[in-house]
Structure 1
Amino acid sequence: MKRKTKTKTKTTTRQPLVAVSTDFRQFDDACWHAVQQRYLEAAVAAAGVFPVLIPSLGDRLDFEELLAAVDGVMITGSASNVHPALYAGDASETNGPYDVARDATTLPLIRKAIDHGVPLLAICRGMQEMNVALGGSLAAEIHERPGSLDHRAPESGSWDEWFAIRQTVFIKPEGCLASVLAPKEIKVNSLHRQAVKLLSTRLQVEAVAEDGTIEAVSARDSGAFAIGVQWHPEYWVKSDEASARIFRAFGDKVRSHARAKTTRKP
């Protein structure tokens, strides 16, 4: 008599999807929706997620459907600035360049991601968008403020020189970022002309620079990982442990959110 053999059922786990913001650009009389590759590489290699580029089409997108389909949101940095009309600022050309198509997409996406408890990582311009989306404001040309450090990139040099890790930031104790990096001082590659002026009441400070500039925030009422950093962890994610930890923590929260969504399905 032959013995029955048990057949193993193979279970597959879907790689979680993360919505990634894009810039609206024009090249050679054509319109493009683009993102720098380093953000995508960090999402795949360090966070272990599948990045999905979201076109900057504003209210033509159904953000509710989008957030139901993805497991996380990443708002990238950019050479453009949030348009000052969105926070009653000075909309002069010197405070540009601007990308209003991106603003019309990222700001509502950030609000809905936080409201729905979808994990969110916002980087540089992304952190500024996070603050404006929730009712805060920005200060322009912060290097001109008395006592302020010059947070801008060097005027010349290679990409590695522009993004060199050179600035100290202090992680606030008992915050979301402290749970990832511990409450200590770390070196980062912060390079920006603008910064948080009036902090949204829905955000809390997670890190500051030596001159008091807010360098990281988190959402108070998200119920999920929702962190914005003013620096660029994506650039040195393969060689800098603090940068890698941020992306690993984001990836872990995205996977947890994806598992919870699967559990809730009938």
Structure 2
Amino acid sequence: MTKPLILVTADVKPVDGYNWHAAPSTYLQAVVRGSDALPVILPSLGADIDIDGALDQVDGVLATGSRSNVNPQLYGGEATEANGPYDPERDATTLPLLRRALERGVPVFAICRGMQELNVALGGTLLTEIQDMEGRADHRAPTSEHQDTRFKIAHPIEIEPDSPLAEILGEEPVDVNSLHRQALGTLGDRLTVVARAEDGTIEAVSVKDGPGYVVATQWHPEYWVASDGPSQKLFRAFGDAAREYRGRRLGLA
């Protein structure tokens, strides 16, 4: 195999009496078409998963977005029906996966819930229902049956100069989509903000002085990877990082 192998996080969905471990096709297609890599879904089986064994075989981790939220009890909050739904099996798998991937220097690309998981995994907190907070915009998706409408480009972000994100997208403002009602609160250990929305909402983070490639976005570049320049650049950069890591892992570099 010459293409990098990307571990993709999974939601747990009850269907037909079974618990299905699944990831949306948009993420899988973005890995194939945008990163020129092969996606493999990691089931959310918590402690039954040998995380180091899994990371031994792969060249990157993609933490996907989801309708579910990280359980607030994991960052000192209170779980409520209004803040749900929750996915405890995913929490129990993805948080330790991200921590270990960072420790080992495995390239990480975390999107929406994935960025929030990364923050919680490193000791940070989340803000819930930010549309109800004074001074914050409504970052939720438009109500529509059409995905193109829900994922439409919605607002600009300001990118921090001389940041890892600026190396990929440049330092000029970029327009992104918006489909979230939570945001990062207190930053986790070693995280640094690399982009914000006009209302101050954190839109992207990276890791300070980390051993590997780490980029996390609150928006959804996977949806427009076939047509949007910034989305293409993000997945191409992730693929390049995974190829470089693969070369080192296999002793080819």
TM-score class, shorter:
over 0.9
SS in 2 for 1:33: strand
Q: Is the 8 A contact 1:116 1:222 kept in 2?
A: no
The residue number in structure 1 matching 2:14 is 26
The residue number in structure 2 matching 1:114 is 102
SS in 2 for 1:191: coil
Q: Matches of 2:28 and 2:2 in 1, distance apart?
A: 18
The residue number in structure 2 matching 1:96 is 84
Q: Tell which deviates more after alignment, 219-228 or 56-65.
A: 219-228
Per-residue CA distance 1:120-155 (angstroms, 9 max, x = gap): 000000000000000000000000010100000112
Q: Tell which deviates more after alignment, 43-52 or 255-264.
A: 255-264
Q: Which amino acid aligns with 1:34?
A: A
The residue number in structure 2 matching 1:16 is 4
Q: Matches of 1:262 and 1:102 in 2, distance apart?
A: 29
Q: Which amino acid aligns with 1:101?
A: E
1:197 paired with 2:199, answer no
The residue number in structure 1 matching 2:61 is 73
Superposition pairs for residues 162-201 of structure 1, below 5 Å?
A: 162-201=150-189
Q: Matches of 1:196 and 1:86 in 2, distance apart?
A: 14
The residue number in structure 2 matching 1:142 is 130
Match of 1:231 among 213, 219, 222: 219
SS in 2 for 1:263: coil
1:251 paired with 2:239, answer yes
The residue number in structure 2 matching 1:45 is 33
The residue number in structure 2 matching 1:5 is none
1:57 paired with 2:56, answer no
Q: Which amino acid aligns with 1:164?
A: K
Q: Matches of 1:185 and 1:106 in 2, distance apart?
A: 31
SS in 2 for 1:180: helix
Q: Matches of 1:184 and 1:217 in 2, distance apart?
A: 17
Per-residue CA distance 1:145-203 (angstroms, 9 max, x = gap): 10100000112341100000011111111111000001120100121000001111310
1:133 paired with 2:124, answer no
Q: Matches of 1:68 and 1:157 in 2, distance apart?
A: 41
Q: Matches of 1:226 and 1:39 in 2, distance apart?
A: 17
SS in 2 for 1:168: strand
Greater Cα radius of gyration, structure 1 or 2: 1
Q: Is the 8 A contact 1:172 1:184 kept in 2?
A: no
Shift of 1:30: 1.1
Which ranges of structure 2 fall in alignment gaps of 5 or more residues?
none
SS in 2 for 1:218: strand
What TM-score results when the alignment is normalised by the length of structure 2? Answer: 0.98
What TM-score results when the alignment is normalised by the length of structure 1? Answer: 0.93
How many equivalent residue pairs?
253
Cα RMSD for the two superposed structures: 1.2
Q: Which amino acid aligns with 1:159?
A: Q
Q: Matches of 1:46 and 1:92 in 2, distance apart?
A: 37
1:211 paired with 2:175, answer no
The residue number in structure 2 matching 1:263 is 251
Give every structure 1 segment of 4 or more consecutive aligned residues whose post-TM-superposition deviation is greater than 2 Å.
none
